[in-house]
Structure 1
Amino acid sequence: MSPGWSWYVIVIVAINILGCVWLLWWTGKRRPGDPAPTDTSHIWDGDLTEYNKPMPKWWINLFYITIVFAIGYLVYYPGLGAVAGVGKWTSAGEHAADKARDDAKLEQTFAPYAGKSIDVIARDPKAVTLGRSIFNNTCATCHGSAAKGAIGYPNLTDDIWHWGGTPDRVLQTVLDGREGVMPEWGKVLTGMGGDNAVDYVVAYVRTLSDPSTMQNNYMAAQGKPLYDGVCVACHGIDGKGNQELGAPDLTDNYWLYGNTSESMRQTINSGRHGSMPAHRQILGETRARLAAAYVWSLSHPDGKPPTATR
């Protein structure tokens, strides 16, 4: 708060307090010439009489005590602009103290799972329940409450893992995040193969899941050398991808951004940038392990890894 606004608040508070004191003093005393308390001349129905009796002293004194309390409160707590108050209380400090106290309680709950592998944690139903709560509070915004994902956000319930599906790789993804970048290749491919180059590559990529469709496929045949010259570095000559780079397998039926021709052209022309935030600082390592264990349990309901992970 700037000094000007601080003084504005102080002046307003002071005027209000002094105004209350003056109002009590002015209205709480009788003046010469005032009618007697029982002499207002306002009578109804013969015996209903209006009185002008002042409030009793004890009542007025309670108002003064309230004003004194308010002044003491403003001295102790920060109620006068930027003045901190002698108690040095702040809402941020109270929040930090409450958070530290609650974190200590949570750490007792999470302590049994510290350092354990997520596939081991996933076999404990209580741990999976805790992990689901952490997931719903932190991860469901992107991956959905059922962890099925959406366009641009991976489905976490299947066995397809672009960055690797071993317990250590899944945990690393949660703790440290991932940055998946597909460069813009439209201009490069156009320079290599003409205006239809991107469509040629799209046609060839579609054949990777079923090589038999290459037969008599003119567009795919034109796209293969373009793929081999540009895309093979990340996705491999067989299109199986590279988990070290997060390059997806192009031979399965899973498409993070959709498998329409329009979507695939956009991916090649403009590139993609998928970002998974790091949660080490957000959750702490043990809570991140519990969330990862819950994710692991979704695709490994029997607690065992599949024979092969992609």
Structure 2
Amino acid sequence: MSAGWSWYVIALVVLNIFGCAWLLWWTSRRRPGDPAPEQTSHVWDGDLTEYNKPLPKWWINLFYLTIAFSIGYLIWYPGLGNFPGLGHWTSQSEQKHDAQVAAATLEKTFAPYQGQPIDVLARNPQALKLGKAIFGNNCAVCHGSAGKGAIGYPNLTDTIWHWGGSPDQILETIQHGREGVMPAWGKVLEGMGGPDAVDYVIAYVRQLGQQGGAPNDFAASRGKALYEGVCVACHGPEGKGNPAMGAPDLTDAYWLYGDSREALRETIRNGRHGVMPAWGEILGDTRTRLVAAYVWSLSHPNGSATTPESR
């Protein structure tokens, strides 16, 4: 707040306080010529008389006390422009204190789970309950309350993990985040195979993983050559993907951005850029371990330590 606005606020507050005090004094005193309390001359039905009695002194003094309290309040707490108040109270310091108290309480709650392995936590019902609550507060906005995901957001309840599905890999994903980039290959492919090159690659990709594994139509055979020239570096010669790069397996039935021809065209032609935020600094080690245990338990409902195939 600028100095000019600060003085404006101070003047406005002081004017209001003294205005209230003056109004109370002016209206409570008796002036010459005022009728006596029993002499207002307002009489009804012969014996009903209106009186002109002032407020009781204790009531008036109570009003003065509230004005004095407001002055003391504004001296101790900030309320007069840029004047910080003698108590130096701020909402930021109050919030910081409350946050420290809450953090200490949370630290006490999470202390028993500090440093424990993910698969061990996944077999602890209380740890899973805490992990589920953390997931609901932070992760559900993208992955859904049940972890089923959506278009562009992975399903966490199956055995398909683009960055690996071991407990340590899941923890690394949560703590450090992931950035998956699918380059835009439209112009490159069209330069190699003509205007239908993207559709050729789609035809081949759709046949990957099918029985026999070998394409037998013209479009897929053209797509195979284009795939081996461009896509094999990330997705591998058999289309099994590469968890170290986050390159998905193209032979399963899971498509992060949808399996329609339009969705696949968009993915290949214009690329995709998916970002999983890093939660390590926000939630800390213990809370990320708890949420990792909950996420891991979604695909390991029996708490088995056997890791599903990472794809």
TM-score by length of 1: 0.97
Deviation at 1:213, TM superposition (A): 6.5
User: C-alpha deviations, 1:140-174, integer Å up to 9, x for none?
Assistant: 00000110000000000011110011111100111
Matches of 1:168 and 1:234 in 2, distance apart? 23
Q: Is the 8 A contact 2:143 2:154 kept in 1?
A: yes
Structure 2 unaligned runs (5+)? Answer: none
Name 1:179's counterpart in structure 2. 179
Matches of 1:242 and 1:6 in 2, distance apart? 61
Name 1:53's counterpart in structure 2. 53
Name 1:245's counterpart in structure 2. 245
User: C-alpha deviations, 1:38-80, integer Å up to 9, x for none?
Assistant: 1000111222211111122222111111111101101111111
Q: Is the 8 A contact 2:166 2:307 kept in 1?
A: no
218-227 or 51-60, which moves further after superposition?
51-60
Aligned Cα root-mean-square deviation (Å): 1.3
TM-score by length of 2: 0.97
Matches of 2:228 and 2:154 in 1, distance apart? 27
User: C-alpha deviations, 1:202-243, integer Å up to 9, x for none?
Assistant: 111111121536443100100111111111111111111111
Matches of 2:174 and 2:200 in 1, distance apart? 37
Name 1:309's counterpart in structure 2. 310
Which AA in structure 1 matches 2:58?
Answer: W
Structure 1 unaligned runs (5+)? Answer: none
Which AA in structure 1 matches 2:33?
Answer: G
Which 4+ residue blocks in structure 1 deviate beyond 6 angstroms?
Answer: none
Q: Percent identity?
A: 66
Matches of 2:4 and 2:172 in 1, distance apart? 50
Q: Match of 1:249, SS?
A: coil
Name 2:16's counterpart in structure 1. 16
Matches of 1:184 and 1:226 in 2, distance apart? 14
Structure 2 residue 20 is the aligned partner of structure 1 residue 6: no
Q: Is the 8 A contact 2:204 2:215 kept in 1?
A: no
Name 1:144's counterpart in structure 2. 144
Matches of 1:5 and 1:234 in 2, distance apart? 61
Q: Is the 8 A contact 2:162 2:310 kept in 1?
A: no
Matches of 2:102 and 2:310 in 1, distance apart? 39
Name 1:111's counterpart in structure 2. 111
Q: 1:307 to 1:173 in 2, by over 3 A?
A: closer
Which AA in structure 1 matches 2:208?
Answer: L
Matches of 1:37 and 1:79 in 2, distance apart? 42
Q: 1:307 to 1:16 in 2, by over 3 A?
A: closer
Q: Match of 1:212, SS?
A: coil
Matches of 1:254 and 1:7 in 2, distance apart? 65
Name 1:39's counterpart in structure 2. 39
Name 1:132's counterpart in structure 2. 132
Matches of 2:290 and 2:6 in 1, distance apart? 47
